[in-house]
Structure formats: structure tokens, C-alpha cells
Amino acid sequence: MSSKKWFVLGISGATCSGKTSLTNRLHNELKNSVVIYQDNYFLPKNDPRHVKIDELNHLNWEVITSMDMNKMRSDVLQLIKSSPTENSSSETVNKNILILDGFLLFKCKVISDLCDRKYFITLTKEECWERRKGRVYDPPDVPGYFEKVVWPEYLKHKDELMKDNDFCKTITFIDGLESKEEIFQLVFAEIKKLLS
């Protein structure tokens, strides 16, 4: 086992694809795990750095600039430099696990490069809309936002990732139409094997 104190797991993908359900389940099952959610780094609504979509009179929350990625990067780096305190007795060989969850996680090269394993959950447009329309966001989606912004931004992001051959060698794409249980079992089995 390497001397690295942390095993870093990145979980990304389409909106409503099941990222957070997977993250939370892994966090429950993997002792010594800590989670950082990219969603916690959205800029406040009144931040001037936001991109406004004039035709919808709405902010674009689907781009990396809608988040304070400097803060997220700094929090992640600070955590993995820290010495894990609990379970550091000699009999526990368990590595500390950092689970990163975010729909644009791999847009940040520093964070992407830190990940020992990367997963990206894909969804069809129909399923994505089915799941998204039932969710309540703050601020709420305005009519046309999914069609004009959410889905095109997701396709653009996925396309960028898939064009990067080196990156594609380091990531596992998962079909979000699979059941949550199947997705969890697939990832959990892989992580356990890597940590053994």
C-alpha cells in the first residue's frame, strides 16, 4: 500500500443521475470516509461572477464559474494534507477515504488529478428531465432552463471529457439507468478491491 494517507474517489455525472445517493451510500459503508460536495460551493445568487442568461432572466448554474472552485480546491488540499486522527492505531490498516461529489468535479484539473478512482454517471435526456422536473431548486428552474441550459451544458461537458483520451483511461462511465443498487455494488466492489 502506498504511503499516501488518503484514497480519493471522484463521483461526477449528469444532474439527477444518482451521484449523491451513491456518495452517501459509499460514505455509510466505508469507515474512515469523509465527503466533500461540490454543490456546497455555489456562489451566492448576488455574486457578480455569475453568468446571466438574458433570454431566461436567470443565472447559469451549470458552469464551473458558478462555484467558488478556489475554495473547494483549497479545502480538499487542506484535508488531504491533514493527518487523519481517528482510527490511526497500528492495527487499522484502513486507509482514509475522501469522496468528492459534483457534477463538474473533473473540470478542476487539480481535483481531477487527485482522484485515485473516477466515476461519471450518464443519463438519457428523457430520464434526466423526468427526474429533474420533480426537484425543487433554490433558485427554482425557470421554464426552458433544462432545454436551453442544463442539458446542453451537460452534453458539452461530457463531450469535453470524452475527447480527452488520457483522461478517459482514468475514468469509468456508468449508465445511470441501472438501478441504484447495481451501481453501488459495482463501485463498492471495485473500491474494496483497490483498498485490500
Name all domains of the chain by residue range, CATH numbers in brackets: 6-195 (3.40.50.300)
Assigned C-alpha cell, 49: 461572477
Q: Print pLDDT tens along the chain (196 aa).
A: 344 789 999 999 999 999 999 999 999 999 889 999 999 999 999 999 999 999 999 999 999 999 999 999 999 999 998 866 555 444 345 689 999 999 999 999 999 999 999 999 999 999 999 999 989 888 899 999 999 999 999 999 999 999 999 888 999 999 999 999 999 999 999 999 998 8
Catalytic residue of the set 39, 47, 113, 164:
39
* Known active-site residue 39: yes
| pLDDT tens, residue by residue, 77-101 | 999 988 665 554 443 456 899 999 9
- C-alpha–C-alpha distance, residues 157 and 163, integer Å: 10
DSSP string of 122-142?
A: E--HHHHHHHHTT---SSPPP
Per the rule left: phi > 0, alpha: psi between -120 and 50, beta: everything else, 87 is left
Query: pTM of the predicted model, to two decimals?
Result: 0.91
- C-alpha–C-alpha distance, residues 120 and 52, integer Å: 27
Residue type, 195: L
CB 96 within 8 A of CB 3: no
